[in-house]
Amino acid sequence: MKRFDAIKKIVEILDEEFVVCNIGIPSKELFHLKDRPQNFYMMGSMGLASSIALGLAISQPEKKIWCIEGDGSLLMNLGSLSTIANVNPSNLTLIVIDNGSYGSTGDQCTYTSNKTNLEVIAEGAGFKSIVKITKVEEIKYILRDLGKGCHFVLIKTNPGSALVSNIPLKPIEIKNRFMQSFTEN
């Protein structure tokens, strides 16, 4: 499976979840598959999707937050894992799509394609709920059954990105419509 196949399965079960998506092509793929105001396409801040998602989870504990993160960007901000695990919000699922490459810049290898194991790092950071997925058909069943908690979901995929166009929204438009949906009710 490739990242696009994984995101396709994730969006099949999206309901009331708010989604913070990683910079670059992952956000374009998500936009192409299922655009909605509840998606925050993070632009310009590589590595910070999980930190933004944590802030959202803390600010509104009754709302479910999913973060679609990548291996390369998570490696830029590993401290976020220990912060999330220690804060331990009951409404945050960190979904790391690990394709072993920097997909948005030409598929240069990341260290997860060599010795680095994000699952082990998450455990060391303090996550108690860790799931590793290697089969595309497992994705929606596992995500659907996670329930409340602070979850680390590692989806191992092959490198490669879909040929999708740019997101035709300005960053301020993405932010404003997301914040409007997030602060309703």
Helix axes 79-87, 118-125, angle to 10 degrees: 50
At closest approach, how far in Å is the CB of 151 from Mg ion?
A: 20
Phi, psi of 102, deg, nearest 5 = -85, 85
Q: Given the complex with Mg ion, which of 46 and 57 has the nearer CB atom?
A: 46
Buried b / exposed e over 86-122, threshold 16 CB at 10 Å, is eeebebbbbbbbbbbbbbbeeeeebebeeeeebbebb
Report in angstroms how near the CB of residue 100 gets to Mg ion at its nearest.
Answer: 7
Q: Closest separation between CB of residue 80 and Mg ion, Å?
A: 16
Number of residues that bind Mg ion (CB under 5 A): 5
How many whole angstroms from its chain centre is CA 150?
13
- Judged by beta carbon, residue 24 or residue 89, the one nearer Mg ion is 24
The least distance separating Mg ion from the CB of residue 4, rounded to whole angstroms, comes to: 12
Residue 77 in contact with residue 47, Cβ under 8 Å?
yes
CA–CA dist 141, 139 (Å, integer) = 6
The set of residues, in sequence order, having a beta carbon less than 8 Å from that of 60 and lying 6+ positions away, is 182
Q: State the minimum distance, in angstroms, from the CB of residue 76 to Mg ion.
A: 11
The reply on whether position 161 binds Mg ion by CB under 5 A is no
Q: Which residue has the tokens 């709302």?
A: 63
Decide whether 106 or 147 has the Cβ nearer to Mg ion. Answer: 106
What is the nearest approach in angstroms of Mg ion to the Cβ of residue 84?
19
Measured from each CB, the residue nearest to Mg ion is 70
**In terms of CB distance, is 120 or 179 closer to Mg ion?**
120
Binding mask 140-159 for Mg ion (x = CB under 5 A): --------------------
Q: Please give the residues from 53 up to 112 whose contact with Mg ion meets the rule CB under 5 A.
A: 70-72, 99, 103
- Name which of 107, 75, 83 is nearest 3 in CA terms: 107
Binding site for Mg ion (CB under 5 A): 70-72, 99, 103
